[in-house]
Amino acid sequence: MKLTCFLASMSIVFSAATYAEDADKILQQVRDRNDGKDYLSTVTLRTLSEDSVLNQRQFYMLQKDIEKDEVMVLAIKAPADVRDISFLMRSFEEGTAQEDEQWMYLPAFRKVRRISATDKRGAFMGSEYSYYDLDKLRVTDFDSKVIKTDMLDGVETYVIEREPKSQDVINKSGYYKLVTWVDKQRKLILKQQYYDAKGILFKQLDIDKVEKVQDIWTITASTMSNFVENKKSTFLFHETLYNQGVDDAIFRKSKLKRGIKDSDVAELTKISEL
Amino acid sequence: MLEKYLDFVFKYPKSILAILSLITVYFFIASANLSEDNNPYFLPKDHPARSTIFDLRDEFTGTYDSVMIALHNEDTVFNQASINAIFDLSRAAERMNYVDETDAQMLQDLKADHPENSELVASIDEILADGMTPSDGLIARELLNRAVEWQLTTKQLRNLSVFAERVDPVREMAGLSSTENVFLDEYGTMFAQETVNKRNQDIEFVKNAVIDNELIEYGPISPDGKVALIVVELSILEDDATGQVRAYEAFKQLVADYQIAHPELKDDIYISGVPVFFAAQKQVIDHDFATLLPIVLLLITIILAVFFKTILGVIIPLINVVMCTIWTMGMMAVVNAPLDVITAILPVFLLTICLSDAIHVMAEYYHQKKIVKSRLVAIRSAMILMASPVVLTTITTCLTFIVSTSSSIESLRNFGLFISFGMFVALIISLLLIPALLALFPKKDIFKQQHAQSSSDVSKKYFISRLLVSALTPVMANRKMFTVIFIGLFIGSGFLASKVRVDDMGSGYFPKQSDFRISDDFINNHIAGTSPGWIEVDTGKDNGALTVEISHFIDRLEQHIHQHETVNYSYSLARYVRRINYTLNDFNPEYNRLPEDVERFIEIDEDTQEPYEITISGSDIIRQSILMFENSGGSDVTNVLSEDFSKTVLLYTLGTTVANDYQAFLDHTLPWIEANKPDGVTITHAGSPIIWTAVLDALVKSQTVSASIALLTVLLVMMAWFRSIRLGLAGTLPLLSTVMIYFALMTLLNIELNIGTAIISFLVLGIVDYSVHYILRIQHEIKNGFTINHALVNAMRVSGRAIIANVLVFSIGFIALLFSQHQALIDLGALVGLSLLISGLVTLFVITLFAPWFFKDQLNASQSSKTMAVMNEART
């Protein structure tokens, strides 16, 4: 499984879902959705403050399942001052004791640096999305319960309340409670609310657009709103492709410094340069 | 006119008393709605010294006033109990709020006032549903946003604003368990997170993460590792006195509960910070006035009893001042003027100063009664004699107060306005109450009928009169010598007055052994100080702050401010960038610095293994450092950078609360900034140093300009009233001399001029009673054909006695303030009593000394009329 659960799973469940009432079962189904063997997209990340654009980044996103681990590489293409910054993230199978790994290459420092994966609250590229938000859905880190079913824009959903099981999970995610809307049919997370230490609802994820790509339900636009800071960030996925046979070598730490070249992507996808 | 008024009062005394009582009841009920403004800064919110911080809060986090909790361990705070305490207290503080059932009631009332507004009702129900928690802050703020649309009243709007900040008061935290640190672990993994982010955090891990770390030292922890600081930024409104007091109490309770629950914690814990300072000040003042007001009442009762030796002589003036105090407080509530740090002392002033008219009228009444032996006749004579001077003195005093306090300091303006109102209503009440009350008991006089005596005979019997005559006779006999002494005294006082120190001692006004003072001193002396300030650098361009030029400027500025002895701590963009640069270069000391414009490196080509040089822009290093920090989990960068990176702010804390230290710091810093700032940037200052120096600046300006205008006002009113330039000067010169002596005494006693002591100079200028009564009596005696010295002696005997009674009431009444717990009030009590005593004595001395010149016209007129009388007699 690849497309790391970017906001929890962007693909469809091919088989008919079983409507499990148990929250963990539902979430496990979300996590285990078939989302292709690998995934490649060009992404625009835009952050706005009261409707004025604060910054806009463009990058390549590549994901792949390697054995039971999920790996992702992000390579920044624009703007110029952050061009060629790249990230490598490896998430190990849930339930194993192994800590996730995060690596970052900063051209200005000429080094690949490991970043603590015990704390994923960092703002991804200065946006309202944290690294934790990009991570694959974690089922066992939280105590979850279905609190109701709800219609969300005409879609039937389970509403699941989730509370972190330990201080470590809080430290890692920065969240003290989550409320998640899961599409009953497609097993996609369509909306998620985030609460802070004071119990304040401070962030909300909304899925703006879901499309079928290569017969896989794929989230192609989403918005993360921060109510306290009155800012929001949007992800727009362009030219998303599944199962392009992305080489495992691209996800090696030693390749991070070289980055993902336009030619690599063109080779893989035959898409034009950004 | 006067006779008609007296006829009316004697005809309807009960109705008059009933009306006065009804008005008093009305104002008494109204005074229950008296609002409080605990704004300790004395300047309005839109004053540039204050408004800048509100602008900064739109751009940066870390810009609210903070409560500071310091843990002190004699050995080291690097022990499990202390580290756990830091974690636990931080987490608990983060979730605190300061609402209670009164806030719930306020919401219920709001709901009841707008039952038709379903959205409002639903929101309030939602807030109240599961108890009021910080999560309700957003709902409350949303209600505020709709307040105008829903046409809520000003009071409802205010209540909601107060509630929104009380229910969700914590804006930001700092400390080992809150400040994001940048460090590497033993495997080279970079962390940008709180150092202590769980209970039982490994002590060695904590130590390694903070030692020699410029982001942490002097802030969350002292360099010797014995003191750790938790900083809780609160957004409670600055004028929400109740909220601040609740916050202070809640923190004290939090710490006390924790210490009981965790006996393993051996640390001393201190609580201070700007909100605590305001809360402690409010608590002391509230406590003082609850205890001091009865003392003031008791003291003036004793003085009145000693002076008049009759029940009515005590009760009537007391009723008069209590009424005028209630009216004034009620009027403040009616016009929505808040009770602030300055106006809170109004009741003490009103109770003492407003006695003046009643004392003069009652003294004259008893004097007349001894002459005519009839209460009604005596009060009629007394009122006829006294109405003119008491009206003149009161109007002059009111005018002077209003004019002299028309400075930029709102609290002083309100003080001047309402003390004037109080004095004016005291005059009205005394003109109605005294004759009406006395008219109710006319029959008792029958038993006391004796032989009538002359005014002179009666006054000769008074001890005070005899004392005054003895004291001032040498002045009349040796005018030349005393003139020389006076001139010397005047010049000497003028010189000393010019040296008066303008200052505000902040926490120094609290007793040394008070909890607050001990905590404040501890934090100021051992770790980051309690007085914060901010310097904003605005480049006007997106990403403009993330340049080599700006970061170097900030770095040099930070180094410069640390040369000043009062600066304990600071953080800035430069610190973050340097720390990240150092960290990302594996703590290579060569990189414990800011990047230069262009950095050159030698790299090895992977293919050829040949070295080659690469150049990297310093600005790219800075931008990627910040990006790295954010990506590594850091969010505190909003403490130093605006969201578009066009502005950066440097925070510093000073280990002092003394205003002159603030001024010295600004004198050290501002010229340097002016000389070194990069082209095109705008610098803005905010925080305690800016506010308090602005307060002092406004104070000095108001003292010099307003005092001059006040003197001129007194002079003009006196000249117009007496129709004589000389008598105008006779009324003004004693006041000027008193002000000089007052400031000279402050210099000699090393008491600073602050907003409290400044009130006294206005008071001295405004209290013209002494001179007016003395001058009028002298005039009266001259008209009766007495020579100047004889007229003076007679005036001393009658008016002098009332003046001394006034002086005693004023002086002794304010002695109550000496029992205060607040040094500023003790100073105020000592100085106000002293200055009014000086004013009375100087008035008697100066007018007596220069009387032949002051009354030259009157003496000439008297001489002429005598001559005319003799000639007429001769003709006849």
Q: Map tokens 């608590």 to a residue.
A: B283
- pLDDT exceeds cutoff 80 at A6: no
pLDDT at position B853 is 92
Name the A residues in 232-271 with CB < 8 Å from any B CB: none
pLDDT of residue B597: 94
- The interface residues of chain A toward chain B in range 47-66, judged by CB-CB distance below 8 A, are 49, 54
Question: What's the confidence (pLDDT) of residue B713?
Answer: 85
Q: Do the Cβ atoms of B515 and B626 come closer than 8 Å?
A: no
> Considering chain A, what percentage of its residues have pLDDT values greater than 70?
89
How many Cβ atoms are within 10 Å of A69's Cβ, its own excluded? 16
A12: three-class secondary structure by DSSP: coil
User: Residue B817: its pLDDT value, please?
Assistant: 82
Question: What pLDDT is recorded for position B484?
Answer: 95
List, edge to edge, every strand of the sheet that includes B567-571: B567-571, B647-654, B531-538, B682-687
Q: Do A116 and B633 touch (CB under 8 A)?
A: yes
More confident position, A262 or B80: B80
How high is the mean pLDDT of chain A?
Answer: 84
Whether A196 maps to a domain, the answer reads: yes
pLDDT tops 80 at residue A203: yes
- Residue B265, min C-alpha distance to chain A (Å): 22
pLDDT band for position A65 (50/70/90)? confident
Q: Tokens 């580290």 identify what position?
A: B83
pLDDT above 70: residue B703: yes
Cβ separation B190–A126 shorter than 8 A: no
Mean pLDDT value of segment A27-50: 89
Measured between CB atoms, which of B135, B187, B193 is closest to A201? B135
Q: Which residues in chain A have Cβ-Cβ distances shorter than 8 Å to B616?
A: 107-108, 110
**Those residues with Cβ within 8 angstroms of residue B279's Cβ, 6 or more apart along the chain or in another chain:** B241, B244, B245, B247, B248, B249
Higher-confidence residue of B662 and A97: namely: B662
The CATH number of whichever domain residue A30 belongs to comes to: 2.50.20.10
Does A4 fall in a domain? Answer: no
Q: C-alpha angle B563/B565/B567, rounded to 5°?
A: 80
Angle, CA of B816, B820 and B823, to the nearest 5°: 120
B172 in Cβ contact with B64 (< 8 Å): yes
- Separation in Å, CA of A250 to nearest CA in chain B: 17
The label of the residue with tokens 């605005």 reads: B538
Measured CA to CA, the distance from residue A260 to residue A86 in angstroms comes to 8
Q: Is pLDDT above 90 for B665?
A: yes
CA distance B127 to B105: 12
In a domain, A182, yes or no: yes
Q: What are phi and psi of A112, to 5 degrees?
A: -90, 125
- How far apart, in Å, are the Cα atoms of B643 and each of A231, A259, B60, B492, B535? 10, 28, 8, 59, 17
How distant is the Cα of B691 from the closest Cα of chain A, in angstroms?
Answer: 27
Asked whether residue A4 carries a pLDDT value surpassing 50, the answer given is no
Mean pLDDT for chain B? Answer: 87
Asked if the C-beta of A198 comes within 8 angstroms of chain B's C-beta atoms, the answer is: yes
- Report d(CA B134, CA B222) in Å as an integer: 32
Please list every residue in chain B whose beta carbon sits closer than 8 Å to the beta carbon of residue A109.
584-585, 621, 624, 628
pLDDT of residue B443: 52
Tell me, yes or no, if B108 comes closer than 8 A to chain A by beta carbon: no
Using the CB atoms, write b or e for A101-140: b if 16+ within 10 Å: bbbbbbbbbeebbbbbbbbbbbbbbbbbbbbbbbbbbbbe
Output the pLDDT for position A147.
93
Contacts of B133 in chain A (CB under 8 A): 198-199
> What is the C-alpha separation between A182 and B530, in angstroms, rounded?
49
Q: Do A200 and B168 touch (CB under 8 A)?
A: yes
- Which residues form the domain of A192? 23-269
What digits encode the pLDDT tens for the residues B704-754?
777 788 888 888 888 988 889 999 999 899 989 998 998 998 899 888 888
In a domain, A11, yes or no: no
Q: Is the pLDDT of residue B571 over 60?
A: yes
What whole-number distance in Å separates Cα of residue B510 and Cα of residue B520? 10
Q: For B191-203, what is each residue's pLDDT tens digit?
A: 777 899 889 999 9
Confidence grade of residue A230 (pLDDT, cut at 50, 70, 90): confident
How large is the ipTM? Answer: 0.75
Could you tell me the residue ranges of all domains in chain B?
99-168, 459-499+724-876, 522-691
* SS3 at position B617: strand
CB proximity A82 to B under 8 Å: yes
Single-letter amino acid, residue B204: E
Cβ neighbors of B411 (< 8 A, separation 6 or more) are B42, B340, B341, B342, B343, B755
Q: Is the pLDDT at A3 greater than 60, yes or no?
A: no
Give me the mean pLDDT over the B187-191 stretch: 76
- Tell me which chain B residues have a C-beta less than 8 angstroms from the C-beta of A167: 197-199
Cβ atoms of A36 and A14 closer than 8 Å: no
- Give the fold, CATH level 3, of B459-499+724-876: Multidrug efflux transporter AcrB transmembrane fold (1.20.1640)
CA dihedral sign, ordered B738, B743, B748, B752: positive
B53 alpha-carbon distance from chain centroid: 20
Question: Quick one: pLDDT at residue B34?
Answer: 83
- Whether the per-residue pLDDT at A19 is higher than 50: the answer is no
CB of B603 within 8 Å of a chain A CB? The answer is yes
| pTM flag (> 0.90) | no
Most confident by average pLDDT, A116-120, A190-194, B331-335: A190-194
A1 inside domain:
no
pLDDT at B79 over 80: yes
Q: How far apart are the two ends of chain B, measured CA to CA in Å? A: 36
* A49/B643 touch (CB, cutoff 8 Å), yes or no: yes
Check A198 against B135: CB less than 8 A apart.
Answer: yes
Torsion angle of the four alpha carbons A14, A20, A24, A30, in this order, in degrees rounded to the nearest 10: 20
Confidence of residue B544 (pLDDT cuts 50, 70, 90): very high
From CA B389, how far away is CA B278, in angstroms rounded? 43
* B529 vs B663 pLDDT, higher one: B663
pLDDT over 90 (residue B71) = yes
d(CA B426, CA B149): 44
Task: Name the residue among A122, A197, A201 with its Cβ closest to that of B632.
Answer: A122
Kindly state whether residue A10 falls inside one of the protein's structural domains. no
Q: Give A97's pLDDT tier (boundaries 50, 70, 90).
A: low
pLDDT at A18 over 60: no
Whether B455 has a pLDDT exceeding 70, the answer reads no
Long-range contacts of B743-746 (CB under 8 A, 24+ apart): B743/B493, B743/B496, B743/B497, B743/B500, B744/B492, B744/B493, B744/B494, B744/B495, B744/B496, B744/B497, B745/B831, B745/B834, B745/B835, B745/B838, B746/B500, B746/B501, B746/B831
- Contact: A115, B632; criterion CB under 8 Å: yes
What's the total number of domains in chain A?
1
pLDDT digit string, tens, across residues B405-442: 776 577 778 888 898 999 899 989 988 888 888 888 75
What is the spatial distance between Cα B108 and Cα B112, in angstroms, rounded to a whole number?
Answer: 6
Does residue A102 belong to any structural domain of this protein? yes
β-strand partners of B66? B233
Establish if B644 touches chain A: CB-CB under 8 angstroms. Answer: yes
- pLDDT tens, position by position, B98-139: 999 999 999 999 999 999 999 999 999 999 988 899 889 888
Nearest to B98 by CA among B207, B248, B288: B248
> What's the pLDDT tens digit per position in B784-800?
888 899 999 888 887 77
A8 in contact with chain B, both atoms CB, cutoff 8 A: no
Structural domain includes residue A158:
yes
Mean pLDDT of the B159-183 span? 91
Q: Is the pLDDT of residue B256 over 90?
A: yes
B positions 152-181 inside 8 Å of A (CB) = 168, 170
Any CB–CB contact under 8 A between A274 and chain B? no
B756 touches chain A (CB under 8 A): no
Q: Give, rounded to a whole angstrom, the gap between the first and last alpha carbons of chain A.
A: 26
Smallest Cβ–Cβ distance between B631 and the set A49, A115, A199 belongs to A115
pLDDT reported for residue A269? 65
